[in-house]
Amino acid sequence: MADIPAVPEGNTILVSPVGKIAPWITRAIAENMEEVFGFKARIIPLLDDISFAFDPDRNQYHSTLILEELAALCPKVGLKVVAVTKEDLFLPILTHVYGEAQLGGTACIISISRLITGSDMGGVNSGAGRIVKEAIHELGHCFDLRHCEDDTCIMHYCRKLADVDKKSNQFCRYCNIFLSDNIRALGE
């Protein structure tokens, strides 16, 4: 585990690469988390080996098990953990997930395996844009936001890449108010 810098407890969003993740990806997530959620973000690896969550029949990783481990490993400086992995994730009832979060909890994870296609990594609807959208979406769940029916809202549930590309990288007005209220309640 990396050295944890001394900062006040529980006010930092930890962006946590699981295994080898290109630095531009963790950097893009960290910058956007700071901007969107208003907390300092730090890139701190917490978990390297996720073989405990591997399902050999599906050749995928069970995301719920990884979240439990991340939450347990989160140091005191961490308010929330956003993990990012290259491995394909699943929930038992679904073929795959782009990510999963503990609703109102500490940890979330996204998988980049299905978000990056081909070589186009630049624009908002390409790999980088999708990764940031999914990270904001999952962290939104950690701040207790549910799925939103507005298909342009970042909290809209996406099954396909076309859905991810269709939604914006913003919270709708309703979700934005809910998020602000929940963040304010943390300081009370």
With CA atoms as reference, report the closest residue to 139 among 174, 97, 110, 96: 110
What is the token pair recorded at 3?
Answer: 């050295």
The secondary structure of residue 157, as a DSSP letter, is: -
Site string for Zn ion, 101-140 (x = CB under 5 A): ----------------------------------------
- C-alpha 39/C-alpha 184 separation (Å) is 12
Beta bridge partners of 42: 14
What is the token pair recorded at 180?
Answer: 């602000």
- Interface stretch with Zn ion, choices 24-32, 70-78, 84-92, 168-176 (CB under 5 A): 168-176
Q: Which of 88, 172, 178, 179 binds Zn ion (CB under 5 A)?
A: 172
- C-alpha 142/C-alpha 113 separation (Å) is 22
Active site residue 9: no
135/172 with CB nearer Zn ion: 172
25/108 with CB nearer Zn ion: 108
- Interface stretch with Zn ion, choices 48-56, 77-85, 127-135, 143-151 (CB under 5 A): 143-151
Identify the active-site residue in 69, 100, 134, 138.
138
Q: Which of 33, 79, 139, 148 binds Zn ion (CB under 5 A)?
A: 148
Strand order in the sheet with 40-43: 40-43, 12-17, 78-85, 107-111, 99-101
Annotated catalytic residues are 138
- Binding residues for Zn ion, rule: CB under 5 A, are 148, 150, 153, 155, 172, 175
